Amino acid sequence: MVLQNKNLDLSEVDEIVTYVARGMEPYRGFPQFMEAVSILLKKRPNCHVVIVGDDRVAYGRSLPEGESYKKLMLDTYDYDLARLHFTGSLPYSQYLQVIQASSVHVYLTRPFVLSWSMLEVMSTGGLVLGSKTPPVEEVIEDGVNGLLVDFFAIDRIVERIEEVLDHPDKMANLRVKARETIQEKYDLSRLLPEHIDWIMNN
């Protein structure tokens, strides 16, 4: 994966953990993810983490002016900043590069609207480690088409990320099933005509 406009070249990196959200906020588990990352980077010297999204709050309450959850996490925990990459928002083609290069994509959310990004990761055959919360559980079945973890279980989040990184071959079938799930249940070319038909007849 090479993002030239971000001076980011991870083409030689085998372990890439990704996180995508509109903002960096508690609703989407950003604090939990960052705490897990602080542990993960110490345990795995070859691992890189790529975070796509803006340093803002899209959902929920913001911190006082001049503060942000990104700043709070960076001030609270120690990170190897050479292996922690904040890209900001990306053009769609570069965003796709990130999720396609991902070894494991972490998607944490409180019970709330499901992000389209999680479905897109699955559509590319990506492996999602999602929070065991209602919107995610509607799509991901643990051990079948992805992995689930308790939203607040930091150590368990780290363990499950390492499980994927340590056993890529074992996870191959989950990636296949993830893509099949999207093709079977969320294919726009099939669902859009059905939706239009429903509107016209109700």
What superfamily would CATH give domain 2-200?
Glycogen Phosphorylase B; (3.40.50.2000)
Closest residue by Cα to residue 29 from 111, 107, 133: 107
Annotated domain spans of the chain: 2-200
Residue 187 CA: distances (Å) to CA of 68, 113, 119, 139: 37, 19, 11, 14
Burial call 140-170: b when 16+ CB within 10 Å, e when fewer: bebeebbbbbebeebeebbebbbebbeeeee
pTM of the model: 0.94
Give the integer Cα–Cα distance in Å for 196 and 182. 20
Task: Name residues whose C-beta falls within 8 Å of residue 190's C-beta, 6 or more positions apart in sequence.
Answer: none
pLDDT per residue of the chain (202 residues) written in tens, 0 to 9? 899 888 899 999 999 999 999 999 999 999 999 999 999 999 999 999 999 999 999 998 899 988 999 999 999 999 999 999 999 999 999 999 999 999 999 999 999 999 999 999 999 999 999 999 999 999 999 999 999 999 999 999 999 999 999 999 999 999 999 999 999 998 888 877 877 888 888 7
**pLDDT value of residue 75:** 97
Contact (CB, 8 A) for 72 and 129: no
**pLDDT value of residue 10:** 95
Give the integer Cα–Cα distance in Å for 16 and 45. 12
